[in-house]
Structure formats: C-alpha cells, structure tokens
Amino acid sequence: MTSFMLAVTKMMPNDYVGFTFFVGTMAMMAASAFFFLSMSTVEGKWKTSLLVSGLITFIAAVHYYYMRDYWAVVGESPTFFRYVDWTLTVPLMCVEFYLILKAAGAKTSLLWKLIWASVVMLVTGYFGEAVYTTGTGPAMWGLFSGLAYFYIVYLIMFGEAKALADKSSPAVQKAHGILCKFVLIGWAIYPLGYMIGTDGWYDFVDGLGLNMDVVYNIGDAINKIGFGLVIYSLAAGSKDTQAA
C-alpha cells in the first residue's frame, strides 16, 4: 500500500513514462477480463487461443503494476522486470500462430521453433541491454537478437507457418496475415527501444528525442492487446459463419 501511494504522489504531469505504465496496466487488465469472459462465447477449438490471449495480457498487467511502482520509487527503467515479462509473454504470442494453424496440420516442431527463437531473441537482447552494456557488447548481442527475430519472421511469413496458412480457411489466412504484420511492424518498436537504451553505432537514434520506456509501453499495449483482438475476431467470425 505504501508503494502504491508513493507511486501516485510522485507522478508528475510531464511524467510520460509513469503515465504510460499506469495506462498500460489498466489496458492490459481490461483486455484480460474481456478475453477470459469471451471464452464462453466461442467454439471449443478457439477457447485455448483466447485463454492464451488472456494470459498474455494478464501477465503483462501484473508486471506493469510492479514496473509502474519501480519507476515511481527508483526513477530508473525496470529493465529486469520488463524482460521477465517478455520472456513469458512473447513465447505465448508465438504459440498463437501454432494454435490457429493446428487444424491445417501444424506440428509441435513448429511450436518449439517459434518458442526457442523468441527465447533466444529475448535473452540475447537482455544481455545487450542490461549485462554487456559497454563497447561492442550492445551491438553484438543486438545482432544475435535481431537474427532470432528475423528467423521468426521467416517462419511465419515465408516458411512452414506460411505454407500451413495457405492451406487454411480464408478467415485463418486473414488472421495469420494480420498477426504477421504485428510481428513485422509492431514488434519493430522493440529494436527501436533497444537502440535508444544502449550504446553502439546506432547512437544517432537518441537524436529522435524518444524515451525507451515510453516506446516499449506503447508497443506492448498495441502488440499484446492487438494479438488478442485478432484471435477474438477470428473466433467470433467463425461462430457467426457457422450460424449463418
């Protein structure tokens, strides 16, 4: 309770980081409630997908609650808590691809490829942003993280997942395409935040006048809630189609 009161009293009108942490917490909690309650309104085969969507935003909401207070009390970027959040939620976002493509024959090997690539992307990103923060460390670990990211992009847009999507229903193809855009465009905000928060050949990014935590917070809300809404739209649309 003391931590909560301190967080409220220390939030200044120009504290955009604190504001986005607060809004992010509320948005993720509201999204979780929506996804969990919507499970009873969709077909059985989509319930797991909606459950995963709710878990993604719920885990993020809990972490955002603590990150908001950490920022208010310490005044530093909660890098450790953020990467713990990502290590739990980003693999779950990759699981969504497997779940919607399961009916088309997706195998668990695809699931594990996506999960392991996402873990490598996050662990190497953490090394560059929080452990090896001097010299060529951030650029080197950022490169490894970027390669893992592009491997995910390859799998879902050109590789095995794309081939499965092409054999799926038009609704699944549409959902898969939108999720791919989230990964290609929406997830691009994370490398931007990484470059803002670390030293390297990309120091010119600091000249944009952006704050790393604001970039991350906005990106999280768009990507995590957006992923879930795409899944909900697919599930609800499938039900409506069968009813017609």
Tens of pLDDT along 30-76? 999 999 999 999 999 899 999 999 999 999 999 999 999 899 889 89
The count of structural domains within the chain is 1
Confidence of residue 95 (pLDDT cuts 50, 70, 90): very high
Question: How far apart (Å, rounded) are the C-alpha atoms in residues 85 and 76?
Answer: 17
**Residue 14 belongs to domain spanning:** 2-243
* CA pair distance 158, 244, nearest whole angstrom: 33
Taking each helix axis as running N to C, give the angle between helix 16-38 and helix 226-243, from 0 to 180 degrees, rounded to the nearest 10: 20
pLDDT tens column, 161-194: 999 999 999 999 999 999 999 999 999 888 877 8
* pTM summary value: 0.90
In the predicted model, is pLDDT for residue 139 greater than 80?
yes
> Mind listing the pLDDT tens digit for each residue in 98-110?
999 998 999 999 9
Q: Residue 65 maps to which CATH number?
A: 1.20.1070.10
